[in-house]
Structure 1
Amino acid sequence: MQVKDAIFNRRAVKHFDADHKMTAAEETELLETTIQAPTSFNIQHWRFVILRDPDLRAKIRKDFGNDQAQMTDASLLVLFTADMKAWQKDPARYFANAPKDVAEMLVNWMGPFHDGREWLQRDEAQRSIGIAMQTMMLAAQGMGYQSCPMIGFDIEEVAKLIHLPDDHVMGPMVAIGKGTKEAWPKPGQLPLDEVVIENGF
Structure 2
Amino acid sequence: MHIFEAIESRRAVKHFDPEHRLSAAEQAQLFELARLSPTAFNLQHWRFVVVENPALREQIREAALGQAQVTDASLLIVLCADLNAWSKQPEQLWTHAPSAVQDFIVPLIDGYYRDKPQVQRDEIMRSCGIVAQTLMLAARGLGYDSCPMDGFDFAKVAELIQLPEDHAISLMLAVGKATQPAWPRGVQRPLGEVVIRDRF
- TM-score, length of structure 1 as denominator length: 0.98
Partner secondary structure for residue 61 of structure 1: helix
Query: 2:88 maps to which residue?
Result: 89
Counterparts of residues 1-201 of structure 1 (less than 5 Å): 1-62=1-62, 64-201=63-200
Counterparts of 1:27 and 1:100 in 2: how far apart (Å)? 35
Gaps of 5+ in 1: none
Counterparts of 1:101 and 1:84 in 2: how far apart (Å)? 27
1:96, distance to aligned residue in structure 2 (A): 2.0
Counterparts of 1:95 and 1:42 in 2: how far apart (Å)? 8
1:31, distance to aligned residue in structure 2 (A): 0.4
After superposing the two structures, state which structure 1 stretch, 99-108 or 140-149, moved more: 99-108
Deviations 1:115-163 (A, max 9, x none): 1111000000000000000000000000000000001110001111111
Partner secondary structure for residue 129 of structure 2: helix
Counterparts of 1:176 and 1:102 in 2: how far apart (Å)? 38
Counterparts of 1:99 and 1:141 in 2: how far apart (Å)? 37
Counterparts of 1:96 and 1:10 in 2: how far apart (Å)? 37
Partner secondary structure for residue 170 of structure 2: strand
Counterparts of 1:88 and 1:131 in 2: how far apart (Å)? 22
1:93, distance to aligned residue in structure 2 (A): 1.2
Matched letter for residue 156 of structure 2: E
Partner secondary structure for residue 170 of structure 1: strand
Query: What CA RMSD, in Å, does the superposition of the two structures yield over aligned residues?
Result: 0.7
Counterparts of 1:79 and 1:96 in 2: how far apart (Å)? 29
Counterparts of 1:4 and 1:129 in 2: how far apart (Å)? 22
Counterparts of 1:81 and 1:44 in 2: how far apart (Å)? 11
Identity between Structure 1 and Structure 2 (%): 50
Counterparts of 1:74 and 1:96 in 2: how far apart (Å)? 38
Deviations 1:14-53 (A, max 9, x none): 0000000111111000000011100000000101101111
Matched letter for residue 162 of structure 2: H
Matched letter for residue 49 of structure 1: V
